[in-house]
Amino acid sequence: MSGPEGPIPRDDGSKRMRIIVVSNREPYVHRKIAQSVKVDRPVGGLTAALDDVLRAAGGTWIAWGSGSADRTVVDDRSRVAVPPEQPAYQLKRLWLSSHEVEHYYHGYSNQVLWPLCHITLDRISYRKKHWDDYCRVNRAFADAVIEETDGSSLVWFQDYHLCLAPRMVRERDPRVTMAHFWHIPWPDWSVFRICPQARELLESLLANDLVGFQTPLFARNFMDCVRESLDADIDPGRKTVTYQGRTTHIRSFPISVDYRKFDAMASSQRASRMVRTLRERYGLKDVLVGIGVDRLEYTKALVKRFEAIGLFFERSARYRGKFTFIQIAVPTRMKEPYLSYKKIVEAMIRKINRKYGHGAWKPVIYISTKMDHEDLAAYYRLADLAIISSVNDGMNLVAKEYVASQTDGNGVLLLSELAGAAEELEGSLLVNPYNIEAFSDSIREALAMPLDEKEARMKSLRKQVGEHDIHAWVTSVLDAARSLDDIKRRESRPLFEFADEVQMRLGNRELFLFLDFDGTLAPIADSPDRVVFSSPMRSSLERVLGSAQLAVVSGRALDDLRHRIGIEGIVYAGNHGSEVLLDGSVLRAEGVDRSAGMLRVLLAGLRDALSTVPGVLIEDKGITASVHFRLVDPSLVGEVLRIFWDLARGYESSFRITTGKKVLEIRPRAAWDKGQAVGRIMELKGRSLMPIYVGDDTTDEDAFRAIRGCGISISIGPNAEADYFLRDQEEVGRFLDWLAQVLSLRQGQGQAPVAADPLARDVVDA
């Protein structure tokens, strides 16, 4: 497996850890077919993602052996090497009785935890016998882990089927490092309190060293449930829970897909042939195609989807015969309430086809058979539109698979705003699946969307998924799990709760204080020209200037930055550090001036093309530029993206174009980042001084990393890259006044501690 920088190493060289993945479902299933054995790979996103992990890293996967030929291929320890074509790791199987499967899996897991976490409370059905077998099966998984683990193992539990196993393992082997990834939503306390075993589940999950969720909201919900249920010490800033002497780190890790694999499969000649075959097979010549790929169960909101599709065909007669929706729905839980749900969905499809179909054309093509990823990639490429309508979803990898397979770049993703993926996939059309009329209107909007807008939206989506693919997810989770001790040491802590420690670290060193501007010295505004640098903040900065070297490092243009602050004796670094005013001279990153002419041409084209879109702000900062669309009407965002990418195409070899929340950043590839700027300034002016850096943005993380081990980094809001954090921008002035007091006391009275009183700034100002 290859990430953005090449293959993920099997070991980091410093802490050798053997990976043990533990999940309910197995990545490979052996089935008896006549006199032979067939190996199936389940389609589910979880198994596909983690199979990639172990293919790269090696190790063991522990899972329930559910295939009819699973027992025939394992060794005497119930293990088999997989994948069959190129074995890379061991699959260890557990054997469950039909009674245990019924109660543990279909019972407690899917009749209590699944509807509870998806907030479909009327579907919860609790039975004590289900809980008893849930405990028994979790014990069996824990036993299997103990058989495989040693003191250097990393045990990585998956999902809601195995809530109790971590505590059972911890009781028998305190040395083991354990992480648990929760793939589905985690509800708030008002919902989770319904669970009869809420306390037991929380206590066991806290036996892990790391618990990961799909989104920050789910992580916050989990900590709120712990706060309400257990006598635990919760630190929201550090994102930790300490319970019964053990600290558990709580994080969000949005899962993704193997972008390169889906892109390659969809680009292949096989996929091209299959697309042609599908069009011929289903009579789709000159027909727009929609796609839905789902497990057949109620949280995917297939009923609401087909209500919207039916209303669409009712209201949009011109699309009859011109648009076909292909629904691939694989039934994986052939028990109630899923059987009844399957019948309802299939009845709705038949009704739509009877009512609106004519001749050989069907509005909906229904496929209920499993497909491998190569076939799915072809279906994704075929589709002009993908619909994800989940009423509650942890992430939904189908959305990302579709984007990765859109090699022609002109599909539209219609995505439920209630799916976890909606927080990441800017460029999709968001829908509320409960609002059926608006849902059906969005289908029409997607199909009628101009081609250039489709391409612009999909370009942004593919960039996001490509840059945050499964490799990035794997790296982030494993790095966090492998480096828990380092994380504990490095995580930012509330500065004013550790003021004595900070003062001790300062000692008698001379200081070089670096500060960001927007969001740090001045509050963020709707547009850069409205930012105000207040008189109290100016006074606070001047107090420190008398006792320490100062530099302001900003994304703004150098002249703009210097004009807004207007204090002599400060080093100014603009354009994220690419131009530095130091001792009367301006230093620039080598090579950035050569891009100036090209940038002017690009910006002139953007200003002209975007002049008709209200709310767009193009910020020319000399060396770099930003295109802000925070104030643009959401319905026009697609137009902005289309125009931008049309004009930016061809410039990407000269400029690094990055996307943020409602902003597109354009920087020469030769430009310095803030960390490089800090290093250059220290080299020229303050090599022997102790650096302190205060910033609020992701661009400041480069500077945090640059001074790690030799200085103090401070973020506005918690940030794992910083040593300490201030709770908000308003605390920056308080920090500057506190620092001025420390330096003044050092010069006049020695090193007595300075109290970090919340009113300290008011006292100083008075």
pLDDT averaged over 10-residue windows placed end to end, the chain, 766 residues: 31 56 93 89 66 79 94 94 89 95 94 94 93 97 92 87 96 87 94 95 96 94 93 84 86 91 96 96 95 88 96 96 95 76 94 95 94 93 96 90 96 95 92 96 96 95 91 82 58 82 90 94 84 92 92 91 92 89 84 81 91 90 84 77 83 76 79 89 86 88 89 84 87 94 77 51 36
Q: Which ranges in the chain are annotated with CATH 3.40.50.1000? A: 494-589+672-765
Nearest Cα neighbor of 159 from 144, 136, 132, 141 is 141
User: In this structure, which amino acid lies at residue 231?
Assistant: D
Contacts of 560 (CB under 8 A, 6+ apart): 574, 621
CA angle 303, 304, 308 (to 5 degrees): 120
Q: Give the model's pLDDT for residue 755.
A: 58
Residue pair 52/258 in contact by the 8 Å Cβ criterion = yes
Nearest Cα neighbor of 629 from 659, 657, 649 is 659
To the nearest 10 degrees (0 to 180), the angle between helices 259-267 and 397-405 is: 50
Q: Give the model's pLDDT for residue 738.
A: 95
CA–CA separation, 330 vs 379, rounded Å? 15
What residues are paired with 551 via a beta bridge? Answer: 514, 571
Residue pair 244/213 in contact by the 8 Å Cβ criterion = no
Please state, in angstroms and as integers, the Cα–Cα distance from residue 165 to each residue in 54, 132, 226, 745, following that order: 21, 14, 18, 55
Q: Give the model's pLDDT for residue 456.
A: 94
Contacts of 600 (CB under 8 A, 6+ apart): none
The CATH class for the domain spanning 592-668 reads: alpha beta
Q: Give the model's pLDDT for residue 749.
A: 54
Contacts of 595 (CB under 8 A, 6+ apart): 623, 654, 655, 668, 670
Yes or no: is domain 494-589+672-765 CATH 3.40.50.620?
no
CATH number of 260-467: 3.40.50.2000
What residues are paired with 181 via a beta bridge? Answer: 158, 212
Backbone angles phi, psi at 177, to 5 degrees: -90, 130
Q: Please give the structure tokens belonging to residue 536.
A: 């109290």
Nearest Cα neighbor of 679 from 722, 658, 657, 708 is 708
H or E stretch covering 378: helix 373-382
Residue pair 689/571 in contact by the 8 Å Cβ criterion = no
Contacts of 306 (CB under 8 A, 6+ apart): 345, 348, 349, 352, 364
CA–CA separation, 470 vs 466, rounded Å? 9
Q: Which CATH superfamily is domain 16-96+137-252 in?
A: Glycogen Phosphorylase B; (3.40.50.2000)
Q: Please give the structure tokens belonging to residue 93.
A: 């199987």
Q: Please give the structure tokens belonging to residue 752.
A: 């007595």
Dihedral angle computed from the Cα positions of residues 309, 314, 318 and 320, in that order, rounded to the nearest 10 degrees: 60
Backbone angles phi, psi at 514, to 5 degrees: -110, 135
CA–CA separation, 293 vs 503, rounded Å? 57
Residue pair 471/1 in contact by the 8 Å Cβ criterion = yes
E-assigned strand segments in 18-174: 18-22, 29-33, 36-40, 60-64, 79-82, 89-94, 153-158
Q: Give the model's pLDDT for residue 44.
A: 58
Q: Please give the structure tokens belonging to residue 661.
A: 């929340």
Dihedral angle computed from the Cα positions of residues 477, 478, 484 and 485, in that order, rounded to the nearest 10 degrees: -150
Q: Which three-class secondary structure string do you get for 553-614?
A: ECCCCHHHHHHHHCCCCCEEEEHHHCEEEECCEEEECCCHHHHHHHHHHHHHHHHHHHCCCC
Q: Which ranges in the chain are annotated with CATH 3.40.50.2000? A: 16-96+137-252, 260-467
Sheet of strand 412-416: strand arrangement: 364-367, 323-330, 288-295, 385-388, 412-416, 429-431
Contacts of 628 (CB under 8 A, 6+ apart): 527, 528, 616, 617, 618, 619, 662, 663
Q: Which ranges in the chain are annotated with CATH 3.30.70.1020? A: 592-668
What residues are paired with 421 via a beta bridge? Answer: none
Q: Give the model's pLDDT for residue 130.
A: 96
H or E stretch covering 655: strand 655-660
Exposed, middle or buried by CB within 10 Å (0-12, 13-18, 19+), for 353? middle
H or E stretch covering 659: strand 655-660
H or E stretch covering 366: strand 364-367
Backbone angles phi, psi at 554, to 5 degrees: -140, 160
Residue pair 303/348 in contact by the 8 Å Cβ criterion = yes
Q: Please give the structure tokens belonging to residue 764.
A: 């100083």
Residue pair 398/424 in contact by the 8 Å Cβ criterion = no
CA–CA separation, 391 vs 416, rounded Å? 7
CA–CA separation, 133 vs 142, rounded Å? 14
What residues are paired with 157 via a beta bridge? Answer: 22, 180
E-assigned strand segments in 133-265: 153-158, 177-182, 210-213, 233-235, 240-243, 246-252
